[in-house]
Structure 1
């Protein structure tokens, strides 16, 4: 699980830290910086796909000009805080009982130079996996060529002392080093290093950034396409795969009954002439409602359920404006679904919201990792504060409703009064 993400001069964050839990809800006004947090996670996801920095920040096309990856919003020119020369991201995480810390500092470059990595490291339980600027007791490395990055790797096998490998600086070392170790080392220590690197990459790879689109969810899909697309593509085939398991199908039916006014009892998947399927909901009176006719809110519910119950769920989901398309009276049921699924320990979610009601329905454990993203008056940098770390908030929420505090702007006001120079 990801436990903390630190920003240094990334987008509109000069220096900020986001504490992460199983469910991390982000609240804040428009343009406060919540979407920039999504960009940071997408940057990490792009690393796992083996892309160069130019591809991650820009776009990645494959054969026939097909767009495979949409770059980070703003591209290279808007990647750093106030046109700073470099930005850094630091992610702390737990994997298989081990604590990891990955650090990357990037120089976005100019119109005449490519973006490059200037510092990168990975540690496991504070032990070195690789580092371009290692901590003591490891010897430092002199970086002399801007197009290359040298990293130090622990000793093992034929390497009685830690050794240095050189990598292209235009692509993160994390996505290059595993193959290099396979080529050069077959000792036990190298196997441990490869395993931890593979687990780290797998964690970054298993991220989904759902931005559900009703048109995409209404498109027929082929049986066997069991990964839900970011816009809800393949919804019908994912639901079909869920329904092949009677227990999962019953859970799906029960949730759709709870989350919508429909009296659904079954799902059918008729095929067209091309073999594609489109989900239809069957009500108790026999009426069929296809995805073409289902409401946007119903489809959104179905997609969220499919993301959790499908045969290939991601480890990490990022939802923007979680409440979109949903009736306020159903928000508590949506949170119940989410918290029930993440309690199993296999899925983590970060979500943004403008809904005061959603904050009201958070369980105590989820409130513990909810954060406010905000900007102070006449300041250009965005900041992040865990809600329960806001001064005097624990006393205030005992006396006042969380939703009312959110709606009135109390959280943002409290942060203004927490800055002495602004109060003056």
Structure 2
């Protein structure tokens, strides 16, 4: 899972760090950088998809002329803080102990090999018509193994690969490259470098393994920006991955409902989250062979998904994401959602929070959301409050900052217990205390 992300000269962050938990909440006024954190995660996700830097920052068109990747908001001209020549993103990935159930249903340790990987990339985006270029890239394992690639000066067209083990340099290799693509993910290039140089086989194996671990985790990031029209469309049976805009909702739910226990869970949460008394889910086939979800109420009334309200569709999509355990999906998935409370009635919000907090404990899901809702903040468990952070900008300061709520001041936790985070949020106390702290400094 993602444990930490650090941003340097990225968009409106000069230098900031966000600690992530299983369920992470981002609060803050408009234009303080909540969406930019999502953009940084999307950049990392683009790396895992094998795109070059120009494609990650701009667009990627697939064969047949369809748009495969929309790039980063604002493009490369607006990606660095105050026109700095480079930006850097660093992510810490945590691989915990794995558990499985025995025949009696008891949890047993599958592996005790828990560890951290730190991946960092620095990029020159190449503004004013220039090509983007890799400046430096590194991978650390437990701080004992380090793989570092850096661009040699004087535009030599070469990169320098350095391998360290236990703080001791094992190998330094100079090799030619165009430097237009993150290199650690180019397995063919790395393997060629290793095969052409005398590198300890165990080190080579470890590096290959850890690179794949990073790519695997970053590839399972998903950014849900749900659109009612996309969720209403029929989908092909077997399409078990929910699209970023909610595409394939009917077929994803059909796949989930193959498991009777999961189906019961979906129906229970659907009845709790919406005013309808849904007793069953039906999947009908249209003339093209695509399927469409139909909700069946206790009185026998059938409501096709194309007639469902936007709020009901949003609930269904979130339920689908949280309950999807398809074989097509990885063991780990991380969802980033902006404005979690959009389109949801306040009286149902506590149930949605309860659902998310329950599912992240039961599964390997990781959820990162942004919100402006004080009502939502009022409903968070103590554990989720510990993973709630504020994005803010000080008056007359150009850069945004990130602060974990409980780290704002020694009194924050006590105030939250006495008055609730929602009240502090509504009063503007969070931003005010940061201004006062700056003045004291």
TM-score by length of 2: 0.89
- 2: CA distance, partners of 1:60 / 1:112: 17
- Contact 2:152/2:159 (8 A) holds in 1: no
- Contact 2:284/2:291 (8 A) holds in 1: yes
User: Which aligned pairs between 1:17-416 and structure 2 lie closer than 5 A?
Assistant: 17-95=17-95, 97-132=114-149, 143-145=153-155, 147-153=157-163, 161-164=170-173, 166=175, 167-177=177-187, 180-181=190-191, 184-185=194-195, 187-310=201-324, 311=326, 312=329, 315-391=333-409, 392-416=411-435
Q: Which secondary structure does the structure 2 equivalent of 1:6 belong to?
A: strand
- The offset of 1:77, in angstroms, is 0.6
For structure 1, the residue ranges without an aligned partner over 5 or more in a row are 134-140
- Contact 2:194/2:204 (8 A) holds in 1: no
- The offset of 1:149, in angstroms, is 2.6
Distance 1:179 1:344, change over 3 A: farther
Q: Which secondary structure does the structure 1 equivalent of 2:279 belong to?
A: strand
Moved more, 333-342 or 177-186: 177-186
- 1: CA distance, partners of 2:178 / 2:36: 27
Distance 1:169 1:128, change over 3 A: farther
Q: Which secondary structure does the structure 1 equivalent of 2:237 belong to?
A: coil
- The offset of 1:390, in angstroms, is 1.1
- Contact 2:160/2:172 (8 A) holds in 1: no
- 1: CA distance, partners of 2:193 / 2:89: 29
- 2: CA distance, partners of 1:364 / 1:147: 52
For structure 2, the residue ranges without an aligned partner over 5 or more in a row are 97-113
Q: Which secondary structure does the structure 1 equivalent of 2:362 belong to?
A: coil
- The offset of 1:421, in angstroms, is 6.6
Distance 1:332 1:199, change over 3 A: same
- The offset of 1:129, in angstroms, is 4.2
- Contact 1:49/1:205 (8 A) holds in 2: yes
Runs of 4+ in 1 over 6 A off after TM superposition: none
TM-score by length of 1: 0.93
Distance 1:28 1:114, change over 3 A: same
Q: Which secondary structure does the structure 1 equivalent of 2:307 belong to?
A: coil
Distance 1:55 1:279, change over 3 A: same
Q: Which secondary structure does the structure 1 equivalent of 2:336 belong to?
A: strand
- Aligned-residue CA RMSD (Å): 1.9
